[in-house]
Amino acid sequence: MPNQAFSRRDFSRTAITSLAAAFAMPHLQPLTQDRHAVPAPEGAIRINFNENNYGPSPKALEALANCGHIAARYPFTSSIQMIAALSKATGAKPENIILGCGSSEILRVADAAFLSPDKNVVAAEPTFEAVLEFAGIEHASAIKVPLTPDHRHDMPRMAAACTSKTGLVYICNPNNPTGTIVSGSELRDFVSSVPPTTLILVDEAYFDFVDDSSFASALDMIPAHPNVVVARTFSKIHGLAGMRLGYAVGSKETVDAMRPFLDQENSNAAVLAAGLASLSDVENVSACRAKFIATRNWLCGELKKDGRGYTASQANFLMIDVGGDVQPVVDKFAQHKILVGRRFPSMSNWLRVSIGKQPEMETFLAALREIVPAGGAKSA
């Protein structure tokens, strides 16, 4: 059963207690502050956070420039308009959609609603860590299932790990940091085998970059499996990472269980205006997607020529085997004013790099060949 929301008075007491504990332990760092972020030098190539280096749609930028007339008003109307637009785009009813301050808020409220000290969360290792970190706040235990040898979710092992004690299972599809996907048939088999009391949270932040025909969105599985919820974001293909807008689609029962844990007025007027404009600019989304896929394919072709191992990514990033611990490689790229992904402990020899603009990736590849000569990299 989902957790019950606190009253405002209970929340105030909890907040005061939590703040006191936080001040008593200055070594703690807020989850909302990225522990791996570093200031970007002037002129640096930033391909470290899976952002969209092409930026927002021109229509979104125009909407941002013209949102002064709504800045003084609470965004109630804009939120309703956004949910209506998402309803049209996804085919889900408005009552089955909630908005979040980025998809990170969606992941947080899913944990808050469905996890507790007597429940566990099941996730791949490695994957996007927010769900596991938020689970710690709920004092829920985590079961991490290693990826397969080809760096994909091990769906049979993850299904076997789900029991009546599992409150939530998290599937990032495509997965961050590997970019690999769970196929539609694998996901359908998995959903059918997991206890119906377990929330299946499918994070589709990167689904726009997929061109593999075996992929299928979990949206279509919600009617038959009300324990499935899909999280998406405007941070990636829409280029609005700095604005913070995400959403979830699920059964009414699931969405209603999550709704009390959302922040009030969690979407600002500016991002809603930009998001609405971007959502309607299908030509820009299509063109942006084509550029990302073309550059990703080009980079994979060059890595193959070098004999380097790399993940079969369907996202706007991939991982490259550098043949040894990746941290010195990351540091050397920084000396070239190229910011790349951090070290992932369970894949310590692998470098995650976001797909930037074509000239940026050409500069990256030249630096890679200098820093890690092809003969020094292992082939997968």
- Each as own residue / partner, the long-range contacts of residues 26-35 (CB below 8 Å, 24 or more positions apart, any chain) are 31/130, 31/133, 31/134, 31/137, 32/104
Please list the residues that pair with 338 across neighbouring strands: 45
Residue 3 falls inside a structural domain: no
| CATH code where residue 130 lies | 3.40.640.10
Decide which of 228, 255, 280 is a domain's last residue.
280
Q: Which of these ranges, 69-78, 269-278, 312-321, has the smallest mean pLDDT?
A: 69-78
One domain for residues 75 and 131? yes
Amino acid 201: pLDDT: 98
**Average pLDDT over the chain, rounded to whole?**
91
How large is the average pLDDT for residues 210-223? 98
One domain for residues 168 and 274? yes
One domain for residues 221 and 332? no
Residue 29 falls inside a structural domain: no
Amino acid 7: pLDDT: 42
One domain for residues 216 and 352? no
One domain for residues 263 and 308? no
Q: What is the dihedral of CA 133, 178, 222, 82, to 10 degrees?
A: 80
Q: Give residue-wise pLDDT tens across range 328-372.
A: 999 999 999 999 999 999 999 999 999 999 999 999 999 999 999
Confidence of residue 70 (pLDDT cuts 50, 70, 90): confident
One domain for residues 228 and 81? yes
Range of the domain at 371: 45-52+283-376
Count of other CB atoms within 10 angstroms of residue 338: 24
Check whether 24 has a pLDDT greater than 80.
no
One domain for residues 227 and 134? yes
Count of other CB atoms within 10 angstroms of residue 345: 7
One domain for residues 230 and 351? no
Confidence of residue 375 (pLDDT cuts 50, 70, 90): confident
Report phi then psi at 199, rounded to 5. Answer: -75, 130
Amino acid 217: pLDDT: 98
Decide which of 263, 280, 297 is a domain's last residue.
280
Q: Is the dihedral of CA 132, 311, 241, 343 positive or negative?
A: positive
